[in-house]
Amino acid sequence: MQEIKSYLAPRSLDEAVKAMAAGDVTVFCGGTDLTPQTDSGAKRYGATLMNIRRIEGLSGIAEAGDSIRIGAATTVTEVRRDPLIARAAPILAEAAEHFASDQIRNAASLGGNICNASPAGDMINPLLVLDAAVELASWADGALRTRSVPLENFFTGPRRHVKRPDELLTAIVFRKPATDFVGWFRKSGPRPALEISTVSVGIGGNLSDGVFRNVRVAMGSVAPTPLRAHGVEAALEGRPLDADSIRAAVAAADADATPIDDVRASAWYRKHLVKVFTEEVLNHVLGN
Amino acid sequence: MSLETEINFTLNGRPVTVRVPVAMKTLTMLREVLGLTGTKYACGEGECGACTVKVDGRTLNSCLMHAVDCDGRELVTIEGLKSPAGMNPTQKAFVDHGAVQCGFCMPGMIIQADYLTDDDPQLTREQAQRGLEGNLCRCTGYTKVLDAVEAAVEAKRCGR
Amino acid sequence: MDQKVTAPTIEKKTLIGQRVKKPDAPDKAIGKTRYINDMVLPQMLIGKVLFAGRPHARIVSIDTAAAERLPGVHAVLTGKDAAGLRFGFVRDNAALKDKVRCEHDEIAAVAAESEEIARQAIGLIEVVYEDLPGVFTPEDGAREDAPQIHDNFPGNKSLYFEFSHGEVAAAEADSDFVVDNVFRPHHVTHCCMGTSCAIADFDHNGKLTIWTQTQYPYNYKMDLAPALGLQPGDIRVIQPPVGGAFGSKLDVYPYEPIAALLAKRTGRPVKVIYSREEEFKASPTRQPAIIHMRTGCTRDGTLTFRTADVLLDNGAYTSWGPTIPVIMMRTVSGHYRVPVVDFKAQAIYTNNPYAGSFRGYGNVQTTWATAQQMDMLADMVDMEPLAFHLKNSQVSGEITPQKSFLRECVLVECLETAAGASDYSRKRKEYAAARAEPGRYKKGIGLASSIHNAGGAKIHKSDGIGTILKVDDYARVTVITGASEIGQGIDAVITLIVAEELGVPLEHVLIVNNDSDIAPWDVGVHASRTTFIAGNGTRRAARKAKAQILAAAEKMLGEPADTLELRGGSVVRDACGTPLIKLDRLLRQMHFQAEPELVMVTDYYEPKSEPEGAKHVSDHSAAYSHAVHVAEITVDTLTGEITVDKITMAQDVGRVINRMGLEAQIEGGLAIGLGYALSENMLLDRGLLKNPCFRDYKLLTAPEMPPLDLHFIESDCAEGPYGAKGISELPTIVIAPAIANALYNATGVRVFDPPMSPEKVARAIDAQRQAAGG
């Protein structure tokens, strides 16, 4: 095991990103992903271990203009119980409802679920559907810098993303969906929640006069990263949501998904489920 | 030696000051540093719930939590549920309803059940099932556990 | 005493069939119980094992120098330290190996001052292996050119069992219908919540004390001794509370002699405790099997014959797993009236993990096959399955071809009760008719049944138990018994029986059953035997004590002993309940009188069963029992997910002793059976376990436990305590095929290799759709 040289539990964001600028920092919040990875040797601790749970302003859910901002340290339980999320983004509440177990939801942070960059990350899927962006903060030239990266562009591979080691993910931001926004999320598994998704499908868009627009489709565990299924989106975009477009969407889902075999499921079963869930979610959206 | 740091927190209502290696987990601290062996290791990766403790009023898996993160917080373990007056209503319900067999998962199961019944005084059996999905038990098949949770809800409602 | 006149009478109240709490539950509920996993002894070292991590290899060299030099390391042992110390039924195992035969083979072990140092030391041991071609299925192992796993077991042949009765060819000629299938029950494991753990310590005279999770403390000494070069008499077995066992601790496994070898080398107590990953990889499994079964019947639904040709994946070593044919054949030959039987089972060594015993031992695998074939045959004959089952059901007094004497047999009552309570026949017809209709979700109902030994199983020379019972001056009763408590609740049963017989409060009964130097012989917790055997032993001992007490009361009170009774802590007149003297007072008077006496009795109970014998024709259990399960399910025909909506169960329990404990055992047994049926699966890839964690090895969780409708049929067993029979394995045995039959009822597909996972069911349904032309 690598030696940890210092432990930090900063109160301010400045303090945190300054430390990260100095290099080789392992960040934790709830620890629910970090601990199994360090225990198994899959991940090593850096020279500095930093607990970000005490940084002021890093957790909480708030409206900011026409957007909703969720602090990175906000727990999944907080998302699940938040009245604003329930009202404005029920698809996110639905994913939180089906996230791991109660004990994990109470500890796991939303930012951590994103930074873990698992293709099966359950909170990522609805955030892709909501077209969320992440805020990344760093310290450069004596000042706090932030940049915003669309979540869709965040992931580069399994457990890999565009966040630099000196950057801290501070928040997730998405525009409040319009009143005609419809969306739903479905994940598989014989257990209601305590399950690493075999696959998940989330679909959302604006449905008015029977026509589906601004469609965004996300799939989990069918590609090296959480996936925006552009083929499915194209099959639905600007079309009436009906049996024909649903059939086209299911066919596109088959093409978009490129799953692998692993201990949890075969590629065949994942593809099969993606098609089943695409149809199911669209039917749910239609109110069937 | 690995880096240690001193932390202060409240454990079962009493202040504690302890030095811990910064990578140590709360479960190890409880069992090996503080001698509170009621909280159990059964998987070490947050899948079984045997190590469940209450932190600042919410339950979590102590095997996943860095001990240093206890600093300034309030922990309740299975040893802290009982009062001088006796078992708390959840513990009593588990004993009375035959929910305890080998009992190894019970400290975590009871802490979680106690949290659920405190958190929602109207907790239904279905909600209890969902709330306990992070607690594995190999002996009981959960039926008597759920009976006990229902009884605990009732007992708390009657102020027992 | 002057108040005698006003003392209220004490009513006769029986505890039999009441709900009694487990005496150890309060300490467990407050986190006070000190499990073996929690134990720390002064000077204790931590032992850790280096596992091979490969399935088959020659060990070219081991370099332990760096590990030995690490500060805090006290000993490093390798195969040469266990040379010549072979153990196991066929002496094919050793604490530390000279060759790799499976992934979890123990190659080296260290004792160090902390877990951390021990882990580091393990990492410093350098082993050079030369990998050998492996054998991963019994079919491959049986091939002539197969790699040899043990030099002294040619052809990789392990144990072989057979039983036959009657002429199969003739019976087959008389059959109008024959079903013929191959069933492949799989590898699953116990998943005790408390991981495997042992603590060993030697005294100056070379006597070993071992704290262990064993569920068979006395034969354990005999089995452990050769692994250490000790005499069994030089081993003291202490059994602290354990986090479950379920059969997994019914043999010696290498970590136990490893702890002892390390303790011997270091002169200090050594604790070996597994992580969950080690537990998955290195603890025993349920025995997988390939069962080729054929069953025939005539047009009118009368069974004509049953054959089973079984191939067992022995794994690398021989523990209890490959002995399951002893029980398998009892069900093949004895479940329903089967006039002609042929059973053969060959175990073949492979480089896979090896199996031990696991609740439902052998019968889980067999019933998976027999109960599905009963369902298939009923359809072939075009009989309503309940009628088909009833037609072939035995009744009290029948004797099976293997000479199991079904003295009290209530199979018919079990069938009628479970089928009636669940409205089985009507629903089965309705769901089958709805199969072809459109719709994603399909309902199904399935019935299955089995037989199991319910009064022990005399596979050892003795199936008995010793009991010592003493009553002190304060009327506190101590029962010193061989019966082990592993969470199953024998403590509550013993307490209840003593309180019933001696009229003392439940809280005044103390059980001592965790030290082989104190408690007398018992075979162990297995074979659904403990309530039956220990219940009888306790009752007999309590009655001896009662006779002594009442004889003394007769002398003191001048009333005949046979008119007296012990009730509510007093001696009372049996007829009217009038208390005559407090029991504790009487006991003190007995003790301090001119001819003093103490109440201390002993009992040895040996059930009236016959040894199994090499030919397997014997009445090997003192009782047999049946259970019938009806499962109602909903199948998502797209995802393949099975939701169990309800289970209705009727089981012959003989007599309910502790109702709460009985229910708990049945519910828990069902949960293990449900996991076996639906989700649990050890995924082995060329001998390597791919899912050694709860994330990917899926135990049933609370939301998946269906509502249960439990019916206890009381057949009043003549040999059992108060009429009771053993109960705890049947719930695990019967449920999986009930679900398989329900799956067929819902969808028309059958799964022959459990678990019925969503993917497997989805594939089967998809294949069925393809075959039907889309």
Q: In B, what residues contact A, Cβ < 8 A?
A: 2-3, 5, 22-23, 25, 44-47, 49, 52, 58-61, 63-66, 68-69, 71, 112, 116, 130-135
pLDDT tens digits along C388-398: 999 999 999 99
Tokens in use for C304?
């004509």
The enclosing H or E element of C540 equals helix C530-557
Q: Are residues B131 and B73 in the same domain?
A: no
C236 pLDDT higher than 80? yes
pLDDT tens digits along B109-153: 999 999 999 999 999 999 999 999 999 999 999 999 999 999 999
Per the CB < 8 A criterion, the answer to whether A20 and A139 are in contact is yes
| Contacts for C709 with CB less than 8 Å, ≥ 6 apart | C421, C422, C646, C647, C648, C649
Q: What is the DSSP string of C638-655?
A: TT--EEEEEEEEEEE-SS
The enclosing H or E element of C160 equals strand C157-165
Residue A182 CB neighbour total at 10 angstroms:
20
Residue C2: per-residue pLDDT: 47
C646-705 residues touching A, CB cutoff 8 A: 678-679, 683, 690-691, 695-696, 698, 701, 703-704
Chain B closest CA to C278's CA: distance in Å? Answer: 10
Inter-chain CB proximity A188 and C690 less than 8 Å: no
Residue A3: per-residue pLDDT: 86
Give which of C186, C251, C183 is closest to C217, Cα–Cα: C251
Q: Which of B5, B22, B59 lies at the smallest CB-CB distance from A102?
A: B59
pLDDT interval class at B2 (50, 70, 90): confident
From chain B, the residues in CB contact with C196 under 8 A are none
| Contacts for B150 with CB less than 8 Å, ≥ 6 apart | B125, B128
Neighbours of chain B (3+ CB pairs under 8 A): A, C
Give which of B101, B129, B103, B114 is closest to C667, Cα–Cα: B101
The helix/strand/coil state of C17 is: coil
Quickly list H helices, C345-489: 363-381, 385-392, 411-422, 424-434
A173 pLDDT higher than 60? yes
Q: Count the helix, strand and coil residues of chain C and give each as a percent rounded to the nearest 5.
A: 35, 25, 40
Residue B85: per-residue pLDDT: 87
Inter-chain CB proximity C690 and A191 less than 8 Å: no
Instruction: Let me know how long chain C is.
Output: 774
Chain A closest CA to C120's CA: distance in Å? Answer: 9
Per the CB < 8 A criterion, the answer to whether C434 and C443 are in contact is yes
Instruction: From residue A60, give the alpha-carbon distance in Å to each of A56, A111, A136, C687.
Output: 10, 12, 17, 48
Each domain of chain C, given as residue ranges in start order, spans 2-33+464-605, 36-133+201-274, 393-397+405-454+623-774
Chain C closest CA to A132's CA: distance in Å? Answer: 29
Residue at which a domain ends, from B80, B108, B124: B80
B67-126 residues touching C, CB cutoff 8 A: 77-79, 81-82, 87, 91-92, 94-98, 100-107, 110
* Structural domain for B102, as ranges: 89-157
Question: Which among C19, C116, C193, C698 is the top mutation candidate for probing chain B, defined by the most B β-carbons within 10 Å of its own β-carbon?
Answer: C193
Per the CB < 8 A criterion, the answer to whether B11 and B75 are in contact is yes
Inter-chain CB proximity C691 and A263 less than 8 Å: yes
The DSSP 8-state label assigned to residue C251 in this structure reads S
| Mean pLDDT computed over B28-41 | 98
Tell me the C-alpha distance between C267 and C249, whole Å: 26
Q: Are residues B19 and B51 in the same domain?
A: yes
From chain C, the residues in CB contact with B20 under 8 A are none
Assess A45–B contact: CB distance below 8 Å, yes or no: yes
Evaluate the CA torsion angle A25, A31, A33, A37 in order and state its sign: positive
Per-position b or e across C64-84, b if 16+ CB within 10 A of its CB: beebeebebbbbbbbbebbee
Assess B51–C contact: CB distance below 8 Å, yes or no: no
Q: Which CATH superfamily is domain C36-133+201-274 in?
A: Aldehyde oxidase/xanthine dehydrogenase, a/b hammerhead (3.90.1170.50)
The enclosing H or E element of C282 equals helix C276-282
C122 pLDDT higher than 50? yes
Q: Which of B31, B95, B101 lies at the smallest CB-CB distance from C26?
A: B95
pLDDT interval class at C774 (50, 70, 90): low
Cα radius of gyration (chain B):
16
Q: How many CB pairs under 8 A join A and B?
A: 96
From chain C, the residues in CB contact with B31 under 8 A are 38
B6-45 residues touching C, CB cutoff 8 A: 31, 36-45
Tell me the C-alpha distance between C485 and C495, whole Å: 12
Chain C closest CA to A233's CA: distance in Å? Answer: 23
Q: In A, what residues contact C, Cβ < 8 A?
A: 188, 190-192, 194, 196, 263-266, 268-269, 272-273, 276
Is 3.30.365.10 the CATH number for C393-397+405-454+623-774? yes
pLDDT interval class at A117 (50, 70, 90): very high
Look up residue C1 and give its amino acid.
M
Chain C closest CA to B60's CA: distance in Å? Answer: 17
Q: Are residues B59 and B24 in the same domain?
A: yes
Instruction: Judge if C2-33+464-605 and C36-133+201-274 fold alike in CATH terms.
Output: no
Tell me the C-alpha distance between B37 and C38, whole Å: 6
**What percent of chain C stands above pLDDT 90?**
98
Question: Which among C119, C757, C759, C765 is the top mutation candidate for probing chain A, defined by the most A β-carbons within 10 Å of its own β-carbon?
Answer: C759
From chain B, the residues in CB contact with C694 under 8 A are 43, 45, 47-48, 136
| Mean pLDDT computed over B76-85 | 93
Tell me the C-alpha distance between C93 and C432, whole Å: 51
Q: How many CA atoms lie within 13 A of A45 on its CB side?
A: 24
Q: Which of B82, B106, B146 lies at the smallest CB-CB distance from C28?
A: B106
Tell me the C-alpha distance between C734 and C728, whole Å: 12
Total domains, chain B: 2
Mean pLDDT over the full length of chain C: 97
Q: Topology of A181-286 in CATH?
A: Enolase-like; domain 1 (3.30.390)
| Mean pLDDT computed over B60-66 | 98
CATH code at B94? 1.10.150.120
Tokens in use for C715?
């057949």
pLDDT interval class at A2 (50, 70, 90): low
pLDDT interval class at A192 (50, 70, 90): low
Residue at which a domain ends, from B80, B107, B137: B80
Q: Which CATH architecture has domain A61-174?
A: 2-Layer Sandwich (3.30)
Chain C closest CA to B72's CA: distance in Å? Answer: 24
| Mean pLDDT computed over C445-451 | 98
Question: Which among C21, C24, C27, C30 is the top mutation candidate for probing chain B, defined by the most B β-carbons within 10 Å of its own β-carbon?
Answer: C30
Q: Which of A3, A36, A103 lies at the smallest CB-CB distance from B112?
A: A103
CATH code at B23? 3.10.20.30
From chain C, the residues in CB contact with B82 under 8 A are 30
Tell me the C-alpha distance between C249 and C272, whole Å: 15
C750-769 residues touching A, CB cutoff 8 A: 757-759, 762-763, 766
Residue A70: per-residue pLDDT: 98
From chain C, the residues in CB contact with B138 under 8 A are 190-193, 244, 246, 668, 671-672, 699
Inter-chain CB proximity A263 and C679 less than 8 Å: no
Q: Which residues pair with B71 in a beta bridge?
A: none
Inter-chain CB proximity A191 and C639 less than 8 Å: no
Residue at which a domain ends, from B80, B103, B132: B80
Q: Are residues B103 and B70 in the same domain?
A: no
**What percent of chain A stands above pLDDT 70?**
96
Residue A113: per-residue pLDDT: 95
Q: What is the DSSP string of chain B?
A: ---EEEEEEEETTEEEEEEEETT-BHHHIIIIIS--TTS--S-SSSSS-TTEEEETTEEEETTTSBGGGGTT-EEE-GGGT-BTTBS-HHHHHHHHTT--SS-TTHHHHHHHHHHHHHH-TT--HHHHHHHTTT---SSSTTHHHHHHHHHHHHHHHTT-
Residue of chain B minimizing CA distance to C731: B141
Inter-chain CB proximity A35 and B59 less than 8 Å: no
Instruction: From residue A243, give the alpha-carbon distance in Å to each of A36, A236, A247, C501, C639.
Output: 44, 11, 6, 73, 20
pLDDT interval class at C471 (50, 70, 90): very high
Inter-chain CB proximity A28 and B66 less than 8 Å: yes
> Between 3.50.80.10, 3.40.50.700, 3.30.365.10, 1.10.390.10, what CATH number should domain C2-33+464-605 receive?
3.30.365.10
Select the more confidently predicted residue: C143 or A23: C143
ipTM of the complex: 0.98
Q: At what angle do helices A267-286 and A243-256 cross, to 10 degrees?
A: 150
Inter-chain CB proximity B139 and C670 less than 8 Å: no
| Mean pLDDT computed over B77-91 | 94
Q: Are residues B101 and B57 in the same domain?
A: no
Q: Which of C639, C703, C762 lies at the smallest CB-CB distance from A191?
A: C703
From chain B, the residues in CB contact with A49 under 8 A are 22-23, 66, 68
Q: Is the peptide bond before C755 cis (omega within 30 degrees of 0)?
A: yes
